[in-house]
């Protein structure tokens, strides 16, 4: 079967749907989207919120954080190890994302940050929710956003074919991309098009690509949350057949966390609370455990875990701390927000970490049961002595003992002489039994793989670009190299890059008609 269209887009999730709508808005008439899965939406359906700078929602709440400020903050965070032109355009367009979605009928309810004291940090994470008279009750954006994009695709007459997998890109004698070879329920499909936009998502489920880009076998025991059927790096593979240049891979870390489907989320949340001590496989403390609460970019703790041997750590707490958690006496500062009027505990061990059907107010009562569950799975151990704990960790008993004694001395002095942890979170480890949890670096998804320029043209290994081929979404490198940034950045770049790629492809088609 053969089809002729103006523009072919591969992938019907956030970036692909946005690209289709944007291209239609910029005059492209005949647009075909190929989606290999039975349904549209991909990982966008799982998203919580979206980062934006200088958006209509922020202005409604009187929040002032400029694109210039955000650019300076982000470039410092990345040490300029990224495509500065691409980042600049994305940040400028992030607020326009919200305006664009409002024009499509979708309005965000409030803006927040996922850090603890929100009055200290930038409120850039756009969320949906319901107002209960006192505060916002958050909703995940995924299904709401996908519905909005699908409705707009129908409005603009975009054709979407599901269960149809793109296999190869077609090029002409000039080397320009002019179509796609695919296979669907009816057999082979050849699409002739003036341009192609790749929007195929992460490489997270392709073990060969993960091994190649990360260059280590230490990830073989780490489950990546985005290991879902559609994240197999199809776009990167097809582009590399045309000598496309690979880019750098960044990682969205969310650890320490084991991430396995059967693991206790309650224990997973306790791993990220600020009080318990974290040591590596040698029994050495290596990080400020309070980073997820005290820093806007709290996932930096995950980078520290990932740097440790085996990319794992062990989280240690004693019976006194467990008693405090069960009784609700453990100190956790409340989230305070001077704009969107949120006031509730941060997520690290809060009511979201409970089983379905259970009363959120009783999560503390089930901690020991969850620990025992994790112990049976080999991911935790309740130890009567530090020597027993060192046996579980696999380190020398004297090394672990020295680390704990040093930490307890810092607690007594209310000053962390090693990593300057907030004194509010300095809680000694003295009273057995000791609760020890294995914590891995915890990867949500892999970001990047394909090198693009700031016009989202796919680059060649020789430094040029492939005419007629564009890419959008998390398959693209350059915007987030090595480290994540603001909460919701992945979805922000996904929507902006889709919009931008649709516009760039439309301009290319006009120039080559």
- CATH of residue 231: 3.50.50.60
Count the helices and strands in the chain (H runs, E runs): 15, 20
pLDDT at residue number 181: 98
Please indicate, yes or no, whether residues 434 and 447 belong to a single structural domain of this protein. Answer: no
Q: Average pLDDT, stretch 401-420?
A: 98
What are the tens digits of pLDDT across the range 255-274? 777 777 788 888 888 888 89
pLDDT at residue number 215: 78
User: Which of these ranges, 177-186, 188-197, 435-444, 465-474, has the smallest mean pLDDT?
Assistant: 435-444
- Residue 227 confidence (pLDDT) above 90: no
Percentage of the chain exceeding pLDDT 70: 91
Q: For residue 505, what pLDDT band results from cuts at 50, 70 and 90?
A: very high
- What gap in Å lies between CA 49 and CA 111, rounded to an integer? 9
- Residue 349 confidence (pLDDT) above 70: no
Identify the domain boundary among 391, 412, 440. 440
Percentage of the chain exceeding pLDDT 90: 64
Q: How many CB atoms lie within 10 A of CB 45?
A: 18
- What gap in Å lies between CA 284 and CA 41, rounded to an integer? 43
* CA dihedral for 119, 254, 497, 77, sign (positive or negative): positive
Q: E strands along 277-400, which residues?
A: 277-279, 312-318, 380-383
Identify the domain boundary among 440, 470, 487. 440
Q: For residue 350, what pLDDT band results from cuts at 50, 70 and 90?
A: very low
- What gap in Å lies between CA 476 and CA 488, rounded to an integer? 16
Please indicate, yes or no, whether residues 89 and 50 belong to a single structural domain of this protein. Answer: yes
User: Which of these ranges, 93-102, 189-198, 321-330, has the smallest mean pLDDT?
Assistant: 321-330
* Token pair recorded at residue 296: 């806007």
- Residue 137 confidence (pLDDT) above 70: yes
Whether 56 is covered by a domain: the verdict is yes
Q: For residue 364, what pLDDT band results from cuts at 50, 70 and 90?
A: confident
What are the tens digits of pLDDT across the range 2-18? 999 999 999 999 999 99
* CA dihedral for 321, 323, 325, 329, sign (positive or negative): negative
Please indicate, yes or no, whether residues 494 and 356 belong to a single structural domain of this protein. Answer: no
Q: For residue 474, what pLDDT band results from cuts at 50, 70 and 90?
A: very high
Whether 139 is covered by a domain: the verdict is yes
Whether 257 is covered by a domain: the verdict is no
- Residue 219 confidence (pLDDT) above 80: no
What are the tens digits of pLDDT across the range 143-177? 999 999 999 999 999 999 999 999 999 999 999 99
Please indicate, yes or no, whether residues 318 and 191 belong to a single structural domain of this protein. Answer: no
What are the tens digits of pLDDT across the range 285-336? 999 998 887 777 767 788 888 889 988 899 999 999 999 988 888 877 665 5
Q: For residue 343, what pLDDT band results from cuts at 50, 70 and 90?
A: very low
Whether 126 is covered by a domain: the verdict is yes
- Residue 237 confidence (pLDDT) above 50: yes
- What gap in Å lies between CA 187 and CA 258, rounded to an integer? 41
Instruction: Tell me which residue range forms the domain holding 399.
Output: 265-440
Please indicate, yes or no, whether residues 435 and 461 belong to a single structural domain of this protein. Answer: no
Residue 266's nearest CA partner among 327, 348, 333, 324 is: 348
| Cβ contacts of 239-242, under 8 Å, gap ≥ 24 | 239/169, 239/198, 239/450, 239/458, 239/466, 239/469, 239/471, 241/168, 241/169, 242/169, 242/171, 242/175, 242/177, 242/460, 242/466, 242/469
Q: Apex CA 273: angle with CA 270 and CA 276, to 5°?
A: 85
Whether 260 is covered by a domain: the verdict is no
pLDDT at residue number 314: 97
Please indicate, yes or no, whether residues 247 and 295 belong to a single structural domain of this protein. Answer: no
Q: How many CB atoms lie within 10 A of CB 461?
A: 11
- Residue 497 confidence (pLDDT) above 60: yes
Please indicate, yes or no, whether residues 210 and 335 belong to a single structural domain of this protein. Answer: no
What are the tens digits of pLDDT across the range 423-443? 999 999 999 999 999 998 778
Please indicate, yes or no, whether residues 153 and 77 belong to a single structural domain of this protein. Answer: yes
- Cβ burial, residue 221 (10 Å; 0-12/13-18/19+): exposed
Per DSSP, the three-state class of 274 is coil
pLDDT at residue number 118: 55
Q: E strands along 29-96, which residues?
A: 31-34, 50-51
DSSP string for residues in 51-67? E-SS-HHHHHTT----H
pLDDT at residue number 100: 98
Identify the domain boundary among 388, 419, 440. 440
Please indicate, yes or no, whether residues 331 and 364 belong to a single structural domain of this protein. Answer: yes
Please indicate, yes or no, whether residues 11 and 71 belong to a single structural domain of this protein. Answer: yes
Q: How many CB atoms lie within 10 A of CB 359?
A: 9
Residue 169's nearest CA partner among 240, 230, 232 is: 240
Whether 151 is covered by a domain: the verdict is yes
Question: What is the number of structural domains in the chain?
Answer: 2
- Residue 120 confidence (pLDDT) above 70: no
Please indicate, yes or no, whether residues 341 and 466 belong to a single structural domain of this protein. Answer: no
pLDDT at residue number 254: 76
User: Which of these ranges, 56-70, 109-123, 320-334, has the smallest mean pLDDT?
Assistant: 109-123
Q: For residue 64, what pLDDT band results from cuts at 50, 70 and 90?
A: confident
* Token pair recorded at residue 384: 């009567």
Task: Give the DSSP H/E element, type plus range, for residue 465.
Answer: strand 465-471
Per DSSP, the three-state class of 200 is coil
- CATH of residue 392: 3.90.700.10
Whether 256 is covered by a domain: the verdict is no
Q: Average pLDDT, stretch 58-64?
A: 89
- Cβ burial, residue 460 (10 Å; 0-12/13-18/19+): middle
DSSP state of 242: T
Please indicate, yes or no, whether residues 35 and 87 belong to a single structural domain of this protein. Answer: yes
- What gap in Å lies between CA 288 and CA 511, rounded to an integer? 54
Whether 258 is covered by a domain: the verdict is no
């Amino acid at each position: 079967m053969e089809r002729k269209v103006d523009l072919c887009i591969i992938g019907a999730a956030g970036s692909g749907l946005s690209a289709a709508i944007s291209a239609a808005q910029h005059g492209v008439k005949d647009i075909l989207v190929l989606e290999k899965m039975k349904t549209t939406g991909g990982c966008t359906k799982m998203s919580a919120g979206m980062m934006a700078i200088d958006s209509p929602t922020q202005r409604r709440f009187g929040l002032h954080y400029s694109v210039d400020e955000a650019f300076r903050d982000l470039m410092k965070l990345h040490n300029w190890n990224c495509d500065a032109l691409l980042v600049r355009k994305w940040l400028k367009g992030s607020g326009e994302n919200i305006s664009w979605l409002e024009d499509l009928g979708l309005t965000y309810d409030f803006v927040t940050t996922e850090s603890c004291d929100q009055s200290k940090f930038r409120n850039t994470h756009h969320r949906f929710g319901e107002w209960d008279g006192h505060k916002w009750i958050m909703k995940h954006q995924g299904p709401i956003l996908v519905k909005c994009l699908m409705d707009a695709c129908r409005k603009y007459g975009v054709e979407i074919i599901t269960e149809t997998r793109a296999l190869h890109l077609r090029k002409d004698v000039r080397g320009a991309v002019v179509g796609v070879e695919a296979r669907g329920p009816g057999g082979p499909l050849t699409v002739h098009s003036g341009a192609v936009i790749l929007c195929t998502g992460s490489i997270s489920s392709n073990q060969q690509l993960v091994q190649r880009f990360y260059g280590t076998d230490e990830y073989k025991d780490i489950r990546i949350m985005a290991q879902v059927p559609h994240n197999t790096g199809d776009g990167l593979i097809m582009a590399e057949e045309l000598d496309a240049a690979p880019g750098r891979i960044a990682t969205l870390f969310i650890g320490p966390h084991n991430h396995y489907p059967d693991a206790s989320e309650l224990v997973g949340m306790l791993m990220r609370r600020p009080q318990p001590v974290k040591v590596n496989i040698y029994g050495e403390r290596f990080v400020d455990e309070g980073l997820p609460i005290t820093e806007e970019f709290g996932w930096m703790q995950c980078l520290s875990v990932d740097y440790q041997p085996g990319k794992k750590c062990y989280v240690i707490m004693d019976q006194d701390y467990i008693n405090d958690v069960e009784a609700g006496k453990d100190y956790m500062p409340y989230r305070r927000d001077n704009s969107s009027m949120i006031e509730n505990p941060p997520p690290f061990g809060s009511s979201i970490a409970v089983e379905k059907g259970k009363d959120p107010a009783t999560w503390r009562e089930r901690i020991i049961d969850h620990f025992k569950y994790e112990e049976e799975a080999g991911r935790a151990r309740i130890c009567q002595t530090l020597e027993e704990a060192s046996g579980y960790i696999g380190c020398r008993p004297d090394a672990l003992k020295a680390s704990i004694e040093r930490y307890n001395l810092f607690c007594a002095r209310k000053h962390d002489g090693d990593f300057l942890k907030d004194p509010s979170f300095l809680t000694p480890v003295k009273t057995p039994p000791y609760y020890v949890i294995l914590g891995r670096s915890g990867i949500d998804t892999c970001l990047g793989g394909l090198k693009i320029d700031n016009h989202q043209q796919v680059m060649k290994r020789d430094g040029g670009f492939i005419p007629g081929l564009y890419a959008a979404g998390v398959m693209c490198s350059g915007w987030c190299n090595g480290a994540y940034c603001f909460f919701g950045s992945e979805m922000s770049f996904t929507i902006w890059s889709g919009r931008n790629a649709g516009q760039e492809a439309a301009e290319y088609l006009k120039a080559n008609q």
